[in-house]
């Protein structure tokens, strides 16, 4: 018992053929989406084939599952005997195995080293600083003074945790060393 449509609205009827075609298209699309084909060959069910054992071995039964029967002239492969279990390992007092951390940079001792390890831009600046330090020591009359000023710079920079501040310190130190190299 259908209720009549409200007045003023046209009645829409569904065509039985259109519904059937749409349903068939949906089924075919679903089958193709799953990677199935409409004309898939039916495979033979797996069959059990008994394998023969050698005469000196104790009788054992082995079954191989195949999708088709083996031809008469196919040689049957024998199963190998299991290997003897390895001798028990006697462990001496072993050092405890430490679990590696997620990021090796976190294991470094100073904040400066962790920042240089974690940011490639700071690693580049660190290499530039080392090159400038070598040039300054090569062109200086007192390379020990340059080494001591570098040690002071390193100790002052050891606990800096801000990447931008450390990058600024690198830029200033590289400029100082370049000036000393001239």
**Domain extents for the chain?**
104-181
Q: pLDDT class for 126, splitting at 50, 70, 90?
A: very high
Q: Is the confidence at residue 173, as pLDDT, over 80?
A: yes
Q: What is the pLDDT of residue 25?
A: 86
Q: What is the pLDDT of residue 31?
A: 72
Instruction: Provide mean pLDDT across the span 118-144.
Output: 90
Q: What is the pLDDT of residue 108?
A: 86
**pTM of the prediction?**
0.44
Q: Name the DSSP letter for residue 102.
A: S
Residue 158, SS3? coil
Pick from 148, 150, 108: nearest CA to 126: 150
Q: Is the confidence at residue 112, as pLDDT, over 80?
A: yes
* Most confident of the following: 42-51, 90-99, 101-110, 137-146: 137-146
CA–CA distance from 81 to each of 54, 60, 88, 108, 118 (Å)? 11, 10, 20, 53, 54
């Amino acid at each position: 018992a259908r209720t009549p449509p409200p007045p003023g609205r046209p009645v829409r009827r569904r065509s039985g053929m259109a519904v059937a075609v749409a349903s068939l298209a949906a089924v075919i699309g679903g089958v193709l989406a799953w990677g199935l084909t409409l004309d898939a060959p039916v495979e033979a069910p797996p069959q059990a084939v008994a394998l023969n054992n050698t005469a000196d071995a104790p009788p054992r039964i082995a079954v191989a599952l195949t999708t088709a029967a083996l031809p008469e002239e196919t040689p049957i492969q024998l199963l190998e005997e299991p290997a003897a279990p390895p001798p028990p390992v006697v462990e001496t007092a072993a050092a405890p195995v430490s679990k590696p951390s997620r990021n090796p940079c976190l294991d470094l001792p100073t904040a400066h080293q962790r920042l240089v390890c974690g940011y490639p831009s700071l690693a580049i600046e660190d290499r530039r600083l080392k090159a400038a330090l070598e040039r300054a020591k090569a062109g200086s009359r007192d390379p020990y003074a340059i080494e001591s000023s570098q040690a002071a710079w390193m100790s002052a920079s050891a606990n800096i945790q801000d990447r931008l501040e450390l990058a600024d310190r690198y830029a200033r130190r590289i400029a100082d060393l370049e000036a000393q190299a001239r």
